[in-house]
């Protein structure tokens, strides 16, 4: 067998082992958790909840002094948080008789949507940074 072919096969096997490890550890974490989700999912869920509350508070605070840009940023932040919430809800296992199988499915979804979740979280962070900047300009 050609050495490059052997190296390619070895790399593919290692990649498959890595995915299997992530899947099994994720399944175990979801299965043993009380909420049916990993700690990362729960942390992101709490952050999204906080973003919604803070954006709502800013929007309702004093609409006369709030700029249109800040209002638009708050609304965009709530929209992105809502989309992220939809994804995060699909990453929670419900209580059922087949919890192990459902934990496996949720772990698989989490691996598949990891990049998408990171993109939403990054967008949310950028929006929140811009909101803080707008608030600092209003205070000065």
DSSP codes, 87-112: HHHTT-PPP-TTHHHHHHHHHHHHHH
The whole domain housing 37 covers 3-139
pLDDT band at 30, cuts 50/70/90? Answer: confident
Domains: count for the chain = 1
Instruction: Tell me the per-residue pLDDT of 72-125, one tens digit each, with 9 for 90 and over.
Output: 888 888 888 889 898 988 888 877 655 888 888 888 898 899 899 999 889 988
SS3 content of the chain, % helix, strand, coil (to 5): 80, 0, 20
What residue spans of the chain are helical by DSSP H?
Answer: 3-32, 39-61, 68-89, 99-112, 114-139
CA distances in angstroms from 34 to 27, 29, 92, listed in the order given: 13, 10, 11
How far apart CA 120 and CA 12 sit, in angstroms, is: 30
Give the model's pLDDT for residue 118.
92
In this predicted structure, the answer to whether residue 64 has a pLDDT above a threshold of 70 is no
Contact 71, 59 (CB under 8 A): yes
Q: Residue 96: its pLDDT value, please? A: 67
Percent of the chain scored above 90 by pLDDT? 6
Per-residue confidence band for 71, with pLDDT thresholds at 50, 70 and 90: confident
Confirm if 70 and 131 have CB atoms less than 8 A apart: yes
Sign of the CA dihedral running 10, 15, 20, 25: positive
pLDDT value at residue 97 = 58
When the pLDDT of each residue in the chain is averaged and rounded to a whole number, the result is 84
H and E: helices and strands count for the chain: 5, 0
């Amino acid at each position: 067998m050609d050495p490059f072919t052997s190296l390619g096969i070895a790399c593919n096997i290692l990649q498959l082992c890595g995915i299997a490890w992530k899947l099994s550890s994720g399944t175990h974490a979801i299965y043993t958790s009380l909420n049916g989700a990993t700690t990362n999912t729960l942390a992101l869920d709490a952050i999204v909840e906080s973003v919604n509350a803070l954006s709502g508070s800013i929007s309702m605070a004093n609409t006369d002094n709030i700029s249109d840009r800040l209002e638009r940023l708050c609304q965009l932040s709530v929209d992105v948080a809502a989309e992220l919430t939809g994804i995060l809800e699909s990453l929670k296992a419900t209580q059922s008789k087949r919890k192990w199988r459902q934990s496996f499915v949720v772990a698989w979804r989490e691996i598949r949507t990891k990049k998408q979740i990171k993109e939403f979280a990054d967008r949310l962070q950028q929006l929140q940074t811009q909101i803080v900047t707008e608030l600092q300009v209003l205070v000065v």
